[in-house]
């Protein structure tokens, strides 16, 4: 029972990180039909940028600040303006393929421009054990969970409670009508890309102390976020949220009870089953499809 509780907490912590990446993924899909195959690299890169800063002699806080601003500018604004916008008129697939090329580019740049080895990353939370109902729980896992949930709740409040948030939602649901109603659609789409970059940023700073910062981190995280978004429901934020936690839990429980070698395979099987049985995802809405 002890072990099970630990696994659940660890699973929720991993799941929270997946959820952050999956929500960003879902947001940019909703507003601009962008399937971002580079989402995992988006989570990998900020930590690398911070380390580039500290290696260049910046103090830790300054490195964080510079890395965060540079990342959001480049992969929020720049990604939207210079990759998504020119590609969008060609359709969903060419755009998705361009993001695949971007993922290779970012990964190789991190490998050659920084380091091919895993590097330690400064942890924002001290590592230790907390005792809760007789079970020893990792403080770091709990902290990750709490920070991620705060970020997600904040986003949810922004979307549902503020005017800007609601216009953003309207843009996501129906860009044409939103435009007719006088909503600055382009600015709202840009906003979702900025939010996506910020969510990736938070996920990166949370996950890197645990897994170390490495150029190839994006592969597994991107895949998990991807699965989480689709399993939960491609077109719903709460779907991505639920999907993230579900995949995090499955991931950790599989590693402990079934086979650690095949921990990545079980979420994939879940993915295939969901796509075949309920392609709109567990919590998703059905989308109209051209036949």
Partner 1 sequence: MIRRLDASLLILLVAFPILWLLPSGLKSYGLYVVSLWLVMSIAAMGLNLTLGYAGLTSLAQGAFLGIGAYATAILTTKAGWPLPAAFLASSALSFAVGVLLGFPALRVKHHYLAFVTLAFTVVVFLVARNEQWLTGGVFGIANIPRPVLFGSDLGAALPFYRLLLCVTLVLALAMWWLLKSPWGRAFLALRENAVRAASLGVDIRAYTLLAFAIGSAYGGAAGSLYAPLVEFIDPAPFALSASFVLLLTVVAGGAGSFFGPFVGAFFSYMLPELLRATGGWYLIIYAAVVLLIVMISPTGLLGLIERWRDHRSQAKAAAARAAAAPTLGAASGETDSLGKGATQ
Q: Which residues of this chain interact with partner 1, rule CB under 8 A?
A: 35, 37, 83, 86-87, 90-94, 96-98, 100-105, 107-109, 111-112, 219, 223, 226-227, 230, 261-262, 264-265, 268-269, 271-272, 275-276, 279, 289, 291
Least Å distance, CB 143 to partner 1, is 30
Least Å distance, CB 200 to partner 1, is 19
Contact 25, 229 (CB under 8 A): yes
Choose between 161 and 289: whose C-beta lies nearer to partner 1: 289
Q: How many CB atoms lie within 10 A of CB 189?
A: 24
Choose between 16 and 223: whose C-beta lies nearer to partner 1: 223
Least Å distance, CB 69 to partner 1, is 23
- Among 44, 193, 34, 46, which residue's Cα sits nearest to residue 100? 34
Choose between 186 and 219: whose C-beta lies nearer to partner 1: 219
Choose between 1 and 276: whose C-beta lies nearer to partner 1: 276
Least Å distance, CB 211 to partner 1, is 18
Least Å distance, CB 98 to partner 1, is 5
d(CA 30, CA 237): 10
Choose between 153 and 265: whose C-beta lies nearer to partner 1: 265
Least Å distance, CB 221 to partner 1, is 13
Classify residue 37 as exposed, middle or buried by CB count within 10 Å of its CB (0-12, 13-18, 19+).
buried
Contact 230, 41 (CB under 8 A): no
Q: Residues near 121 by Cβ (< 8 Å), separated by ≥ 6?
A: 47, 50, 51, 208, 209, 212, 213
Choose between 145 and 226: whose C-beta lies nearer to partner 1: 226
Instruction: Give bridge partners of residue 137 from the DSSP assignment.
Output: 130
Which token pair is 139? Answer: 């403080």
Contact 229, 26 (CB under 8 A): yes
Classify residue 231 as exposed, middle or buried by CB count within 10 Å of its CB (0-12, 13-18, 19+).
buried
Choose between 165 and 243: whose C-beta lies nearer to partner 1: 243
Least Å distance, CB 43 to partner 1, is 16
Which token pair is 261? Answer: 């070698």
């Amino acid at each position: 029972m002890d072990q099970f509780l630990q696994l659940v907490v660890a699973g929720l912590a991993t799941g929270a990180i997946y959820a952050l990446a999956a929500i960003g993924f879902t947001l940019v899909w909703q507003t601009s039909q962008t399937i971002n195959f580079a989402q995992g690299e988006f989570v990998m890169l900020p930590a690398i940028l911070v380390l580039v800063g500290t290696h260049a002699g910046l103090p830790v806080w300054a490195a964080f600040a510079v890395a965060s601003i540079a990342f959001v500018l480049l992969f929020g604004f720049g990604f939207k303006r210079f990759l998504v916008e020119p590609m969008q008129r060609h359709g969903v697939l060419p755009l998705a393929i361009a993001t695949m090329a971007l993922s290779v580019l970012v990964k190789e740049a991190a490998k050659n421009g920084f380091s091919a080895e895993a590097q330690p990353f400064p942890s924002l939370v001290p590592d230790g054990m907390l005792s809760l109902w007789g079970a020893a729980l990792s403080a770091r896992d709990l902290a990750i969970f709490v920070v991620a949930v705060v970020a997600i709740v904040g986003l949810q409040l922004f979307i549902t409670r503020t005017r800007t948030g609601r216009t953003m939602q309207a843009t996501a649901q129906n860009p044409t009508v939103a435009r007719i109603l006088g909503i600055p659609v382009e600015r709202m789409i840009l906003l979702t890309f900025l939010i996506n970059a910020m969510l990736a940023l938070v996920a990166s700073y949370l996950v890197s102390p645990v897994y170390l910062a490495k150029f190839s981190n994006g592969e597994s995280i991107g895949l998990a976020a991807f699965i989480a978004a689709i399993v939960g429901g491609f077109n719903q934020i709460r779907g991505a949220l639920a999907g993230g936690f579900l995949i995090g839990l499955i991931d950790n429980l599989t590693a402990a009870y079934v086979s650690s070698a095949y921990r990545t395979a079980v979420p994939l099987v879940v993915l295939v089953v969901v796509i075949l049985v309920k392609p709109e995802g567990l919590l998703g809405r059905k989308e109209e499809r051209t036949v």
